[in-house]
Amino acid sequence: MSEAETASKTFHDARPPGVDAAIVLEDGQIFWGRGAGIEGVAMGEVCFNTSLTGYQEILSDPSYAGQIITFTFPHIGNVGVNDEDVETDTPAVRGCILRQDITEPANWRANQHLDAWLKKHNLVAVTGVDTRRLTRHIRDNGAPRGVMIHLPDANEDIDLDALREMVKSVPSLKGLDLAREVSCTQTYTWDQAEWSIEDGYATQSDPKYHVVAVDFGAKKNILRCLAAAGCKVTVVPGNTSAEDI
């Protein structure tokens, strides 16, 4: 289907052949595709990321809380997923949008397929999307609210009218206290430093400084850099008072 044909689709059109997923934006734009990750619906602010590598770190980055990430690089999944490179243990992202189907992993550190990782974390993905058109749309109009659905049952229609109503209920991220969603709830100590191919992640056993990191959505790599710089790191929740610090 050409870009012009896709753009002219109405909410009452049935799903095109060979697709089992759709994205509906708040301004009425529809993007058809193929589902990955879990079956179901995801809602959030649709943004884009132009990185060529590091999709695992991006998907687990707490700063993407409440968002659906459009990857402009087409070959997502080519290095698989491992247990070491996540930025947080529980991703706050709502889902992702890809140009191509998820690539089979080919990396010695991979221990999981990206699709399996998405399922593990209850994330919806849509592949086969014209991400160039979507990225231009976001660039020109700002990040819209969006709803995406993965519905593999070919006998069941994707109800675009219902999705159009659903997208109206997606909250704007402007003014939301997203730090509350991604902050830790208890104080803890961090001593893991940077990774090396020989030894994996080092441990900071002889710190010269003591740093208190207030967690408003801190990435693990930020904490690792502090530890590698010679710091004992104490991480506290974002609502910790100055007196307690």
pLDDT averaged over every residue in the chain: 92
Mean pLDDT of 214-233: 97
At residue 206, the pLDDT reads 92
Provide the 8-state DSSP code for 163: H
| pLDDT digits 0-9 by tens, 80-123 | 999 999 999 999 999 999 999 999 999 999 999 999 999 999 99
112-140 per-position pLDDT tens digit: 999 999 999 999 999 999 999 999 999 99
Domain boundaries, the chain: 3-177, 183-237
Residue 170: closest CA among 46, 61, 47, 69: 46
Q: Are 242 and 212 in contact (CB under 8 A)?
A: no
User: What 8-state DSSP symbol labels residue 126?
Assistant: E
pLDDT at 15 over 80: no
Q: The domain 3-177: what is its CATH number?
A: 3.50.30.20
Q: What predicted TM-score, i.e. pTM, was given to this entire model? A: 0.90
CA distances from 50 to 55, 58, 117, 132, 180 (A): 10, 11, 21, 11, 27
Q: What type of residue sits at position 182?
A: V
pLDDT for the residue numbered 197: 87
| C-beta separation of 11 from 130 below 8 A | no
| One-letter identity of residue 88 | T
